[in-house]
Amino acid sequence: MKRVLSAVKPTGRMTLGNYIGAIRQFVQLQDEYEMFIFIANEHAITIPIEAKELRQNTKDLIALYLAAGLDPAKATIFLQTDVPAHAQLGWVMTCMSYMGELQRMTQYKSKTANGETGITAGLFTYPCLMAADILLYDAEYVPVGIDQKQHVELTRNLAERFNHRYSDTFVLPEPLMTEVGQKIYSLQDPTKKMSKSEGNGKGTIELLDDPAAARKKIMSAVTDSLGIIQYDPENQPGLANLLTIQSCLTNEPIDSIVNRYQGKGYGELKKEIGQTVYDFLTDLQTKYKEIMASGQIDDILAQGAEKANYIANKKIRKVYKKVGFTISK
């Protein structure tokens, strides 16, 4: 069985973008692949975050993974910090990377271009830790939204470099992206990604938003003045984003939605999408509350950590030998 690995970092509250671009794919893939899904809590501190908030986000994220349909009987679910090999290989990968290639990472570039101050060294080198995350498990596929594609490509380069410098050690991974929904945009500025770091404004739907408030956000989403319902991301990005959300949450192809709305107005379409989002969040949150109350999270994480450590430790031992850290044979 081929291996798939992915993660979400608990920096903020999960958004509909995280669900559509990533978590939804995890659930779809778990029957066909051997899955490793973790909570990237080491990545979360690349941006300052209070311990209390990190703890809460972490618990929420695990419960949301499960509420979205991730099944611990099929997928190994674990906390990054429960597997020390991530940080260990992360350091080796940091030393395999060049400053220049990290400077070319668009996520980092966009942060520095915005003139943001207080950027940590961790934020700069986090793609090296992400490479370690993936390479430890010989993952062949990494389901992600488009913003993470470049980091998976860097991972391939680092794996190739290591294999070439030492000897064959790592599998070269490929990003896996959904055809529709690789990038969900802000409802208020459809040229920007819907992002958890934006805070819970009108542009972002959080998975734990009050469903009625989320419906309002859809109703007040920015569209355009053309008044024609068609899928044209370039000229009608707001509408295209709404159609994408509806299609991803219902599995109805975009063309079919567009056909149903010929001659109708945006208001009517928004009403349907608002209801879809309302129903989706209501169902997800009911399951989330049950999981939070059930006390099963600790056991799931303990089992996940055991499986993950077994595989990751084998790989790090190999790497330590090849690099020359281990002095006994």
The set of catalytic residues is: 111, 193, 196
The per-residue DSSP string of 147-183 comes to: GGHHHHHHHHHHHHHHHHHS-S--PPPEEE--SS-S-
* Token digits of residue 72: 């611990």
Q: Shortest distance, CB of residue 62 to ligand TYM, whole angstroms? A: 14
Residue 271 engages ligand TYM in binding (rule: CB under 6 A):
no
Residue 248 engages ligand TYM in binding (rule: CB under 6 A):
no
Residue 196 is assigned to a ligand binding site: yes
Residue 211 is assigned to a ligand binding site: no
d(CA 2, CA 23): 19
> Helix count (H) and strand count (E) of the chain?
14, 5
Part in contact with ligand TYM (CB under 6 A); list of ranges 6-14, 282-290, 300-308, 311-319: 6-14
Residue 257 engages ligand TYM in binding (rule: CB under 6 A):
no
* Token digits of residue 193: 């990604």
Judged by beta carbon, residue 9 or residue 13, the one nearer ligand TYM is 9
Judged by beta carbon, residue 13 or residue 193, the one nearer ligand TYM is 193
Other CB atoms within a 10 A radius of the CB of residue 203 amount to 22
d(CA 296, CA 256): 40
Q: Is 79 helix (H, G, I), strand (E, B) or coil?
A: strand
Other CB atoms within a 10 A radius of the CB of residue 328 amount to 4
Return the residue matching tokens 């109805």: 252
Out of 34, 60, 133, 206, the only residue in the binding site for ligand TYM (CB under 6 A) is 133
Q: Shortest distance, CB of residue 155 to ligand TYM, whole angstroms? A: 8
Part in contact with ligand TYM (CB under 6 A); list of ranges 63-71, 129-137, 280-288, 296-304: 129-137
Estimate the crossing angle of helix 85-94 against helix 297-323, to 10 degrees.
40
Out of 3, 4, 22, 156, the only residue in the binding site for ligand TYM (CB under 6 A) is 22
Residue 94 engages ligand TYM in binding (rule: CB under 6 A):
no
Amino acid at 18: N
Binding to ligand TYM, residues 167-186 (CB under 6 A):
183-184
Part in contact with ligand TYM (CB under 6 A); list of ranges 65-73, 126-134, 271-279, 317-325: 126-134
Q: Shortest distance, CB of residue 222 to ligand TYM, whole angstroms? A: 16
Binding to ligand TYM, residues 149-168 (CB under 6 A):
none
d(CA 156, CA 96): 12
Residue 21 engages ligand TYM in binding (rule: CB under 6 A):
yes
d(CA 309, CA 81): 11
Other CB atoms within a 10 A radius of the CB of residue 208 amount to 16
Q: Which residues bind ligand TYM (CB under 6 A)?
A: 5-9, 17-18, 20-22, 40, 43, 130, 133-134, 142, 144-145, 147-148, 183-184, 193-195
**Residues making up the binding site for L-tryptophan:** 133
